Amino acid sequence: MTQPQKDRPWLIRTYAGHSTAKASNALYRSNLSKGQTGLSVAFDLPTQTGYDSDHVLARGEVGKVGVPVCHLGDMRTLFDQIPLEQMNTSMTINATAPWLLALYVAVAEEQGADVSKLQGTVQNDLIKEYLSRGTYICPPKPSLKMIADVAEYCYENVPKWNPMNVCSYHLQEAGATPEQELAFALATAQAVLDELKPRVPAEDFPAMVGRISFFVNAGIRFVTEMCKMRAFVELWDEICETRYGVADPKFRRFRYGVQVNSLGLTEQQPENNVYRILIEMLAVTLSKKARARAVQLPAWNEALGLPRPWDQQWSMRMQQILAYETDLLEYGDLFDGNPAVDAKVAALKDGARAELDNLDGMGGAVASIEYMKSRLVDANAERLNRIERYETIVVGVNKWTEGEPSPLETEDGGIMTVDPAVEQEQIARLDEWRGGRDSNAVKEALAALRETARSGGNIMGPSIRAAKAGVTTGEWAEEMRQAFGTYRGPTGVSRSVSNKTEGLEDLRSQVDAVSDKLGRRLKFLVGKPGLDGHSNGAEQIAFRARDCGMDISYDGIRMTPEEIVAAAIEDDAHVVGLSILSGSHLPLVEEVMQRMRDEGLGHIPVVVGGIIPDEDAEKLKAVGVAKIYTPKDFELNSIMADIVSLADPNQIAA
C-alpha cells in the first residue's frame, strides 16, 4: 500500500517584539531555535504611527506593544545574526510600511543578500486602520497610492515578497460579523488592485494579483469560521476571474496567514484561553481547502498583559503538535461534500456579495470608510449586548464564574513587564545615532524624498536611500505628513439622540434625575490619550452612555493629555473617562490627572479602562482615579450606573 504524501506544514510564527531591538533579536533567535519557521515582527506604537521615540506623543509608549525601530541601526540590531535571505519575515506595519521595508532592504543589502530572493510580507493595509486599529497617518487616497508604490517596487525588485496583506483580523476584533469581515476585506483588496492596474502592463497584472495576500481572524465559532475561510477562497477566486480577468488559477489562489481571535480571550479564568486558542486554530488548519499558509497564535495570558517567552513557546508547541504528531497533513479536505458546510459557505457568500454590492454602490472601500466604521461599532455593540443578556455564553465571564485560582499566574503576575528605563535608553541611542550621521547626506536624502512625494513618484527608491543615509522614522513620516496631510478617522459613534432604549429605562431615568440636579444634561467626556489605536472599548462606552441619555464627547484616538484636559474645560465635563490598552496607562493617566489639578479641575471624577494589573490600579487610585475597569468588567450598564453616581452633586457633596 502506497504511503500517502504529506502536505507541508504551514509557517509557524509567534507575533513578537518588545522593549528594544537587542532584546527582540534575542527573543527571535531563541524562538527560531525552538522550531519557529518564520518571523512575525511587532513594532511599538511610535514606530507604527511615524514618530521617533523622543516625540511627545511617544511618551510612555516606547517598546510597550512591540519593538521601537527609529533608524537603520535599530533594524540592523533587530536582525543581527539572522540571515534575511533565508528567512520569511512578516512585518505587521501599515502607515510606515514603505519605510520599514526600506530599512529591511537596506539591512539585507548590508548582509550581502540577493534582494530578489527576500521572502516575507508587509501588512500595508491602511483601510482597516481607519476602521479598527488606528495607526494611520495620511488620508485614504494618498495612503492607497503609497500601498501601490510598495507593490510596484516589490513586483520589480523583490518578486517573492507580499507587498500588501489585506487584514481582516482587526475587523473581527472590532466586532465584524463573518459577512462583514468577508466583504470589507475583499472590498479593500479590490481598491488596491484598482489602484495598481494602471501601473503595470496588462500581461503582468495577473502575477501582481497573485502577490496579494490576506491576514485573517479565526474566532471561537469553529464551524462558522472554517466555512468563512472556504467562502474567502471561493469569493477571491471569483473576483480575480470575473472582475480582473485572471485566467491562471495559481494567481487566483487565496493566500493567507492567520492569528486566531484575541477579542474572545478572557481576563477571568485565563487558563481557559488555551482551549479557545486550540479550537480557533482548528478552524484554519483542518480544512485543506481553507488551510492557512502561516499561523501565529496568541498566548493564554494576552488578556492580562505582555506574554513571557514561555507563554509564546506554549502556543508554538500547540502548532507543532498538530502539524507533526497528528496525521492531519496526510489527507485531503475532510469537509468536501458535507451538506451543512456547503450550505453555510453558500449563505456566507450570499451575505458577503450583498454587502460588496452595497459598498460598490457607494463608490468602493475608500468612499465607504465612514459607513463601514459605523457598521462595525453597531455590530460590536450587539455582540456585547448578547453577552450581557446571556444569549452568548462565555465560560468564566457570564456563566460558571466560580473557580480555583490559576496556578499559571505566578508571583510575576503571569505576564512580562517592560522596564520603564527602556524608553530613556532608547532615546539616548537615538540621540547618539543623530549625532553620528552625516547631516548633509540626511538633508539631501530628505530633499529627494520630499520632491518624489510631492511630484507623485514612487517613494520606495528614495526611502531606501534615506534609510542608508541615516534618516529616522519620525523624519521620514514627517515628509509624508507634509506632502499628503494628516487624517482623523471616523469614530462610528454618533452624538445624535439615541432610540436604542430597550433595557435602559432605569438608567435613563437616573441620568435624567442627575441632569436635573446639575442644571443641564450630564456631560461625559471619553478620551484616548497616547498612541493606542484600540478604540473598541472607548467606542462602546461612548455608545452606551449616549443610549443612556448622557451628552457624550468622544473625538477618537491619539489625543495628548493636554488636548483631553482642554476638551474637559471646553465641554464643562462632569465625568472624564480614559481608555488605554497599550500598557502606557501609568504615565499618561498621571499626566492627565496633574494637568487637571493644575487647571482647577481636580473635582471632576476620572475613570480609567484598560488592561491594568492590580498593582498599577492601586497606583492610579493613589493619584486620584475614581474607578478602574478592566476586560472582566463586561457589564456596561454597571459602568454607566457608576458614572451617573460619580456625577451626582449630592454624592460629590457627601
Q: Name the residue among 139, 406, 169 with its Cα closest to residue 266.
A: 406
Residues 170, 523, 574, 585: which is the catalytic one?
Answer: 170
**Radius of gyration over every alpha carbon of the chain, rounded to an integer in angstroms:** 25
Residues 15, 136, 153, 629: which is the catalytic one?
Answer: 15
d(CA 101, CA 215): 18
Residues 528, 574, 585, 627: which is the catalytic one?
Answer: 528
The gap from C-alpha 548 to its chain's centroid, in whole angstroms, comes to 29
Residues 149, 532, 547, 551: which is the catalytic one?
Answer: 532
Residues 55, 373, 468, 534: which is the catalytic one?
Answer: 534
- The question of whether 55 is a catalytic residue gets the answer no
d(CA 579, CA 283): 32
d(CA 480, CA 114): 29
Q: Name the residue among 318, 255, 276 with its Cα closest to residue 35.
A: 318
CB 473 within 8 A of CB 48: no
- The question of whether 51 is a catalytic residue gets the answer no
* Residue 512 three-state SS: helix
Angle (CA) 146 150 155, round 5°: 145
Q: Which amino acid is at 413?
A: G
Positive or negative torsion for Cα 569, 571, 576, 580: negative
CB 588 within 8 A of CB 529: yes
Cα dist from 338 to 110, 127, 140, 335, 513, whole Å: 53, 35, 42, 6, 58
Residues 51, 136, 153, 169: which is the catalytic one?
Answer: 169
- The question of whether 71 is a catalytic residue gets the answer no
- The question of whether 331 is a catalytic residue gets the answer no
d(CA 258, CA 287): 14
- What interhelical angle do 97-110 and 473-484 show, nearest 10? 140
* Residue 589 three-state SS: helix
d(CA 173, CA 164): 20
Cα dist from 399 to 145, 199, 637, whole Å: 49, 55, 18
Tell me the catalytic residues.
Answer: 15, 169-170, 528, 532, 534
